[in-house]
Amino acid sequence: RRRQPEAEPRELGGERLVLPVESCALIEDAVHGIEAARGAGMASIALTGTATRDELRDADRVVETLRELSPAAVADLIKSRSN
């Protein structure tokens, strides 16, 4: 099984969107993806399923379903990281 990419591709994605990485959030279901998001300086949202809530605890937020998220909730999470 291939490991998740490092932070660089995620940083590049933010650059292509012309957004600073600090204004981005990454939704990920793997521990390595959460680590890459944090390494890139992005907010990290973990989706349980392939990893447990405990394994994903380093994320800024852990959810069991995408229905727990809204654009406003993601924006609030990003804002809270910059305070």
Per residue in 8-63, pLDDT (tens digit) is: 655 555 556 677 888 989 999 999 999 999 988 899 999 999 999 999 999 999 99
**5 has pLDDT over 90:** no
How far is it, in rounded angstroms, from Cα 48 to Cα 52? 6
Secondary structure class of 55 (helix, strand, coil):
coil
Distance of CA 71 to the CA centre of its chain: 14
From the list 41, 31, 26, the residue with the least C-alpha distance to 3 is 31
Q: pTM above 0.75?
A: yes
Question: What's the pLDDT band for 65 if we cut at 50, 70, 90?
Answer: very high
pLDDT at residue 8, as a whole number: 60
- Classify residue 39 as exposed, middle or buried by CB count within 10 Å of its CB (0-12, 13-18, 19+): middle
